[in-house]
Structure 1
Amino acid sequence: MFGGFAKAIFGSSNDRYVRSLQKIVDRINGFEPAISAMTDEELRGQTALFRQRLADGQPLDDILPEAFATVREAAKRTLGQRHYDVQMIGGIVLHRGSIAEMRTGEGKTLVATLATYLNALEGKGVHVVTVNDYLARRDADWMGQVYRFLGLTVGVIVPNLTDQQRRAAYAADITYGTNNEFGFDYLRDNMKYDRAQMVQRPFNFAIVDEVDSILIDEARTPLIISGPTDDKSELYMSVDAIVKQLVPEDYEVDEKQKSVVLTEDGTEKIERLFENAGVLVGSNLYDYENTQVVQHLNQALKANVIFKRDIDYIVKNDKVVIIDEFTGRMMDGRRWSDGLHQAVEAKEGVKIEPENQTLASITFQNYFRMYPKLSGMTGTALTEAPEFYDIYKMNVVTIPTNLPVQRIDEDDEFYKNQNDKFAAIAKAIKEKQESGQPVLVGTVSIEKSELLSEFLKREGVRHEVLNARYHEQEAHIVAQAGAMGAVTIATNMAGRGTDIQLGGNVDFRIEDELADVPEGPERDAAIAKIKEEVAVQKQRVLEAGGLFVLGTERHESRRIDNQLRGRSGRQGDPGLSRFYLSLDDDLLRIFGPQTMFARLMNKNLEDGEAIVSPWISKAIETAQKKVEARNYDIRKQVVEYDDVMNDQRKVIYEQRADIMDADTVGDVVEDMRVETVNAIVGEACPPNSYPEQWDIEHLKSRVGEIFGLTLPIDDWLKEESVDPEMLVDRIRAATDAQIADKTASLAPETYIQIEKSILLQSLDHHWKEHLAMLDALRQVIHLRAYAQKKPIDEYKHEAFQQFERMLGAIREDVTRTLAFAQFTFQQPDLPEMPDFVTQHIDPFTGEDDSADLDAATGNVLSRLPPLQVPRPEMPDGGGDTAVAEIVPPASRNAPCPCGSGRKYKHCHGAL
């Protein structure tokens, strides 16, 4: 009560904060007369003056007012647009690392120029992140006019660029690009073998456009770079054959969740079958060593019990093709992940295609948290403010509109079923079109768009239907959605970033209609005619009530509804919004068929009758809040699991960077050799044990296996002062002498390059295997909950243990390779790309939202010098070291020269 009273008198904390920024805006306005009087050259010279002041130790905040005034003047001269005072407030909020919530049509793209220019003066690079490639190109060209006028360089990151082009774009003062491109470039950089091949600079400052879409909606799924794994066809078929021996009593099925779990008896039966087939390590299915076997078992169970032929998939041309559960269409080229598709292929007895293995992955949460300063802008962020602060430590500041909002938001209309609702929608749209009022219709899926389109065709309503995918042509259609009598049906994400101007968009009409008309009097006359037509249409649309935004159902998130509403009523224009709902809507199913709400609707509503009630609208909002909270928990869980991997990822990537930057890595290699010797002596001679208890045969075997040495260990044991330390010292001395002898004929710089190459290749190989193990562990760790254990804690514990094992394996691997290999040096060939694909699944459409840039990702793999490395059959400590010279072939897809029959990239050329 008192809080509401105080808020009424003093305003909210947001209002007070915005008012406090007015003093800075007044200072900016104070510079305007002097800066307006400058010539173009003098205005451009401001950049050099600002940079000098920064070099002299002045902070950015001190030059902010003058820099913002400079950008405002540059925008006036290049774009013909002057920043409003509220836009200046938005620029200050962005500079301070917060989120500026600005309504649609308030000019967020122009606002970004203020903070971008100011922070680019430091020369450390500013990233402006957009939701798609079209907007990245558009904004880089459009706002780039301001930056280039002021002497700054602008780059843009889009698909199909070479490494050289990417490096140049990142070296620019300001770089535009999509979240996917930035994230994948980071992952690819950390797969390279030379600093000179990396494209990104150290992170500095990022401004995220449509921050709610990128940092919340798309953050549900991580970015993944994957490559083909070894052929596991036999394992899939073996597991499938065993699963087919189970009977329904051996498992429990939950069709709603599409899950199947073994019963206790079923688990014992599987363990016996697996043991007999030699698939299991030990006798316990859930031992750590059997993690991947459990994953294959779970997927084989799903394939055989849950997934039905001709319902979930069909077999066509000896291939398993997924059927879309919503449209019933075949989805050629799409494959289930985590080995499920391979399990279905084994079930149907068709050729098993190799699954892709994760080579590198990162969530958007962890990627963007690497920026020392991060800010964002959108029309709808306040409903997710707690999540923005919890995850990214960013506050949301609501920026007031330049002109008062005149849009009318009407209460929702409720109907008994979907047919009644769509019939009412079609009727309402027809009435609006006849009056000349433009209508923007928001749907939640392509299926619903097509269904509504059928209703509109019956009513004879002219309309445009847009798919959920955003591309340049859609931008042109959406730009004309404000034309008189226009009806545009768009899915929830369509049209973002494009302004809907009443009467139509002059610039887009000129681009569409006069593309082939050359410069001259004819073109000028045509442009004047278009402007006149748009002005007349705008007046008629204003008289008709502005843009009518019609929602065909509520979304899970209030934020998506607000985005749709925000398309109407820009810059003080009139507008109208209304949502149409029915009991068939996805969200209303949350209430369930037995609730009071559902009974009320069914009992009191006649066919075709609607009910309008603020109380029901409030109940819907409550349901949305519950769904938002659930989705937040899901995203938070994704972050919790990725945080575990992120800590390990940082260690590995930092280690890679240190190796690449180091002048020499001899100390690192020597430490690895020492640790390896200590480990093998520790295995054979446990602490506090007597010499007669030592496993000397094991020690001799391990020394031969890792170092290829035959040492007189039996003779050493006859000495009186024998102890583990003495064994360690003598084995170390022997291995040091071995390495010194091998490298005597090599130039020091050559051997350093070889050491670096072997270190990086071993690191990458074991990191890849570690990621595969973590993926498999993640699939099954939830089962620990049945033992009253917290899955995330168990995951942390297991992941840490596996990480320790991986480090030990890397040390041993590097030591073994250097001990056995005999080195000759040749000039390396030009680097080649490995075969991998990028993946980021769109959380709304389920489609892969990343470009598969196999040919455009740049040069990732730096060739090793030709090495003489051991054959797979290691000697057991005998006299000869049995080495075979392996010279990389011209192509990574060529057969490996070792004679294994596998491709070079899958054998001695493996990452």
Structure 2
Amino acid sequence: EFNYAIVDEVDSILIDEARTPLIISGPTQESTQLYYKVDRFTRRLQKEKHFTLDEKTKTVALNENGVAEAEKYFSVPNLYDLNYMDLVHAINQSLKAHFLFNRDVDYMVKDGQVIIVDEFTGRLMPGRRYSDGLHQALEAKEGVKVEEEYQTLASITFQNYFRMYKKLAGMTGTAATEAAEFMHIYKLDVVEIPTNKPLRRIEHPDVIYRTAREKWNAVSEEIIELNKIGRPVLVGTISIEKSEKLSAMLRKKGIKHVVLNAKYHELEAQIIAQAGRIGAVTIATNMAGRGVDILLGGNPEFLAKEALKKAGLDPGQATPEQFQKAYEEALKITQEEHEKVVALGGLQIVGTERHESRRIDNQLRGRAGRQGDPGSSRFYLSLEDDLMRIFGSDRLSGLMARIGMSEGVPIQHPMVTRAIERAQKQVEAQNFSIRKHLLEYDDVMNKQRETIYRQRREILEGKDLRDYFFNLFDSLIEWYLDQYANKDKHPDDWDREALQQALFAQFSIDLSQLNLKWDEITYEELYSALSNHIREIYSQKEKLLAPERMREFERLILLQVIDARWKDHLLEMDYLKEGIGLRGYGQRDPLIEYKKESYEMFQQMLDRIEEDAVRYLFLIQPVVETEMPKRKEQPIYYQKPQETAAAAGGAYLKQARPLIPGKKKKH
């Protein structure tokens, strides 16, 4: 039961992760060789000549020249022919992998595997894979083994998952900027709680340079100056690549420092715990959600453990007396250092780039000046930063030109800071729009998901399906008779051969065994004869199996059919969602079209579930074996449908749309 949830770092889960669906997937039988071949093709392409790239909307697509190049390379007459949809899909994913995803920024390669890096926390996410063939495209790009592709078996967005709870609440230090989204999507109010102690952190205005090179030089000089007086520095970067670049610069200058990014995640707690000591320089990638207090002067507990290790003792094996003695010595050192660090102004935060979200910047700033301690923060930016380059206004560039910035000379101006915040708000608004749009589409799937899972739950809880199947028998008989022996037609005009094939494919019955007098029979008599005959076959199976075992098989069959059909439906819905945007060119609302077509597809899936369940039920061949030693139960064998049976009625089953019990079809 989803009664209530209290979510820690609620903005990270409900906002940042909102675009990430929770997926249960299983392997497919698709070959991975296509990804290698497509990757070789993608490496030949040139920007503008063969494809267009829009970094603002994060889209990349082949242009006319690119399409012609692909048709020539893969020897296909028309790339967008339905027969080559898999190839088009693989090309699109390869383009994304090469031109929208960057190594050591969006992912890293470790032990021959492509591992996703969380863009908001900088942590590695082992076990997670990009869906829809994108991860395979990245593996081909990096020259590692391309793992088999996975197909979605079940999917739900974070938004709809958490909206299932009757009561929802959460905590975070950075929710105020997203108050509107929390209310719009989750109907949650944001309440600000005052700080425990007065805030003493000084937030200096941003410093902006013309080029990234000038900015990095200024950052390293700032670190060197602060390091000379012993003031601890925490430097925030937005990617592994940037953190390692700065680390190399500091090594050349002889500045001792530690790096905290996805590559050194195991040492995270230890690195953060000592980031407040005198002379400490810590470079961290995306501090979001680290959740460890940086204590000015250092953490005595970690220091005590280090002292025990140096003395040759395992901290986990040390006696309470040994640990207490080491802790008291460490506490004395950290208290002395604490006073010195406070006198120097506390921890200095140096931001090297503004994140797309203001919340991530605020989380970095919030590492300094905690619990009444002093501290300060300053961001160093350049016009070449991604945020400024993609979303910065021409007005800002014009301002820089008028001021006449010279090499290495920064600008500090409230107008610049406001322009940067406007750019961030623009990105946040765009991302909110994407999340809202995603939710509108997932809400359509959510209603279908609830229907299917409610059916599954009823089956799993032991619902008696005997009457359900009897209703299905009658609905299917009525459907087939309407198709091939319509009551409004004379019996001479009935298509007996087609009816025979359809009933054999559906129920495995032979009409000739019924000894029907076709010259005299009426629609009602035919319906009654078929219904009684099918019930008789069912009763014979039930008698052989025993009623309780028959109920078990009915549940098993229906569950398997629902799961198989739902899996296929999810794939078809993905294809529908991919192409539905094109309806906008025909002056149609894509969302309304998606709702309409997805409803029709869902109804067809329900029809198929009912058809399949009945067909498999009649294909069960109970086999009663003689008792074997040490065996209490008689084994029952489930015979899978034969190809010949399926082929026999295939043409007629395509037309079949059996009734949902309780609903009548219009004729």
8 A Cα contact 1:208 1:375, kept in partner: yes
Q: 2:217 is matched by which residue type in structure 1?
A: A
Within the candidate set 53, 61, 64, 1:259 is matched to: 61
Q: Residue 700 of structure 1 aligns with which residue?
A: 500
Q: 1:258 is matched by which residue type in structure 2?
A: V
1:441 maps onto 2:229 in alignment: no
- Within 5 Å, which residues of 2 pair with 1:781-796? 781-796=580-595
Within the candidate set 719, 723, 729, 2:520 is matched to: 719
Alpha-carbon separation, structure 2, partners of 1:555 and 1:565: 12
What's the Cα RMSD here?
Answer: 3.8
> What SS is found at the alignment partner of 1:203?
coil
Alpha-carbon separation, structure 2, partners of 1:646 and 1:470: 39
Q: Residue 415 of structure 1 aligns with which residue?
A: 209
Q: 2:642 is matched by which residue type in structure 1?
A: R
Deviation at 1:478, TM superposition (A): 0.7
Q: Residue 386 of structure 2 aligns with which residue?
A: 586
8 A Cα contact 1:824 1:868, kept in partner: no
Q: 2:61 is matched by which residue type in structure 1?
A: S
- Within 5 Å, which residues of 2 pair with 1:135-534? 202-231=1-30, 253-256=51-54, 257-260=59-62, 295-300=85-90, 302=92, 306=95, 324=103, 332-334=112-114, 337-339=131-133, 354-468=148-262, 471-493=265-287, 496-514=290-308, 516=314, 518-519=318-319, 521-534=321-334
8 A Cα contact 1:295 1:779, kept in partner: no
Structure-2 change in CA distance of 1:876 and 1:556 (3 Å): closer
Structure-2 change in CA distance of 1:501 and 1:685 (3 Å): farther
Q: Alpha-carbon deviations, 1:138-165, whole Å to 9, x = none?
A: xxxxxxxxxxxxxxxxxxxxxxxxxxxx
Deviation at 1:559, TM superposition (A): 0.9
Q: 1:539 is matched by which residue type in structure 2?
A: E
Structure 2 segments unaligned to the other structure (5+ residues): 115-128, 627-634, 650-667
Structure-2 change in CA distance of 1:323 and 1:569 (3 Å): closer
> What SS is found at the alignment partner of 1:575?
strand
Structure-2 change in CA distance of 1:686 and 1:542 (3 Å): farther
Q: Alpha-carbon deviations, 1:279-315, whole Å to 9, x = none?
A: 9xxxx96xxxx6xx574253255479x589xx779xx
8 A Cα contact 1:710 1:877, kept in partner: no
Deviation at 1:689, TM superposition (A): 5.4
Structure-2 change in CA distance of 1:803 and 1:687 (3 Å): farther
Deviation at 1:663, TM superposition (A): 5.0
Structure-2 change in CA distance of 1:207 and 1:295 (3 Å): farther
Alpha-carbon separation, structure 1, partners of 2:102 and 2:625: 52
> What SS is found at the alignment partner of 2:151?
strand
Within the candidate set 395, 413, 418, 1:613 is matched to: 413
Deviation at 1:788, TM superposition (A): 2.0
Structure-2 change in CA distance of 1:307 and 1:613 (3 Å): closer
Q: 1:700 is matched by which residue type in structure 2?
A: Q
- Within 5 Å, which residues of 2 pair with 1:77-116? none
8 A Cα contact 2:105 2:239, kept in partner: no
Structure-2 change in CA distance of 1:325 and 1:567 (3 Å): closer
1:758 maps onto 2:557 in alignment: yes
8 A Cα contact 1:208 1:377, kept in partner: yes
> What SS is found at the alignment partner of 1:482?
coil
8 A Cα contact 1:754 1:865, kept in partner: no
Deviation at 1:490, TM superposition (A): 0.7
Alpha-carbon separation, structure 1, partners of 2:246 and 2:139: 38
> What SS is found at the alignment partner of 1:577?
strand
Q: Residue 118 of structure 2 aligns with which residue?
A: none
Q: Residue 666 of structure 1 aligns with which residue?
A: 466
Q: 1:299 is matched by which residue type in structure 2?
A: H
Alpha-carbon separation, structure 2, partners of 1:229 and 1:742: 35
1:868 maps onto 2:622 in alignment: no
Alpha-carbon separation, structure 2, partners of 1:529 and 1:342: 53
Alpha-carbon separation, structure 1, partners of 2:96 and 2:574: 22
8 A Cα contact 1:295 1:776, kept in partner: no
8 A Cα contact 1:449 1:491, kept in partner: yes
Deviation at 1:562, TM superposition (A): 0.8
8 A Cα contact 1:479 1:500, kept in partner: yes
Alpha-carbon separation, structure 2, partners of 1:474 and 1:715: 80
Alpha-carbon separation, structure 1, partners of 2:355 and 2:429: 14
Deviation at 1:389, TM superposition (A): 1.2
1:823 maps onto 2:622 in alignment: yes
Within the candidate set 767, 774, 777, 2:566 is matched to: 767
TM-score by length of 2: 0.81
1:576 maps onto 2:370 in alignment: no
> What SS is found at the alignment partner of 2:509?
coil
Alpha-carbon separation, structure 1, partners of 2:139 and 2:365: 46
8 A Cα contact 1:704 1:876, kept in partner: no
Aligned length: 599
8 A Cα contact 1:701 1:876, kept in partner: no
> What SS is found at the alignment partner of 1:206?
strand
Alpha-carbon separation, structure 1, partners of 2:526 and 2:8: 63
TM-score by length of 1: 0.60
Alpha-carbon separation, structure 1, partners of 2:109 and 2:266: 27
Residue identity (%): 45
Deviation at 1:614, TM superposition (A): 1.1
Alpha-carbon separation, structure 1, partners of 2:8 and 2:93: 41
Structure-2 change in CA distance of 1:336 and 1:404 (3 Å): closer
Deviation at 1:521, TM superposition (A): 4.2
Deviation at 1:802, TM superposition (A): 1.2
8 A Cα contact 1:766 1:806, kept in partner: yes
Alpha-carbon separation, structure 2, partners of 1:496 and 1:508: 17
Alpha-carbon separation, structure 1, partners of 2:440 and 2:400: 42
Q: Alpha-carbon deviations, 1:657-712, whole Å to 9, x = none?
A: 10111252212222222222233223324685565554332211100111111115
8 A Cα contact 1:222 1:361, kept in partner: yes
Q: Alpha-carbon deviations, 1:611-660, whole Å to 9, x = none?
A: 11111111111111111000011111222222222111111111111011
Structure-2 change in CA distance of 1:790 and 1:591 (3 Å): same
> What SS is found at the alignment partner of 2:152?
strand
- 747-756 or 689-698, larger mean C-alpha shift: 689-698
- Within 5 Å, which residues of 2 pair with 1:803-842? 803-824=602-623
Deviation at 1:590, TM superposition (A): 3.5
Q: Residue 739 of structure 1 aligns with which residue?
A: 538
Alpha-carbon separation, structure 1, partners of 2:146 and 2:196: 60
Q: Alpha-carbon deviations, 1:697-741, whole Å to 9, x = none?
A: 221110011111111589454226x23x54333222111111111
Alpha-carbon separation, structure 1, partners of 2:445 and 2:594: 10
Alpha-carbon separation, structure 2, partners of 1:391 and 1:498: 30
8 A Cα contact 1:323 1:330, kept in partner: no
Deviation at 1:575, TM superposition (A): 1.0
Structure-2 change in CA distance of 1:809 and 1:582 (3 Å): same
Q: Alpha-carbon deviations, 1:447-477, whole Å to 9, x = none?
A: 1111111222233221111114784520221
Alpha-carbon separation, structure 1, partners of 2:637 and 2:438: 42
Structure-2 change in CA distance of 1:434 and 1:690 (3 Å): farther
Deviation at 1:329, TM superposition (A): 7.9
Q: Residue 596 of structure 2 aligns with which residue?
A: 797
8 A Cα contact 2:392 2:423, kept in partner: no
Alpha-carbon separation, structure 1, partners of 2:384 and 2:625: 70
Alpha-carbon separation, structure 2, partners of 1:826 and 1:412: 82
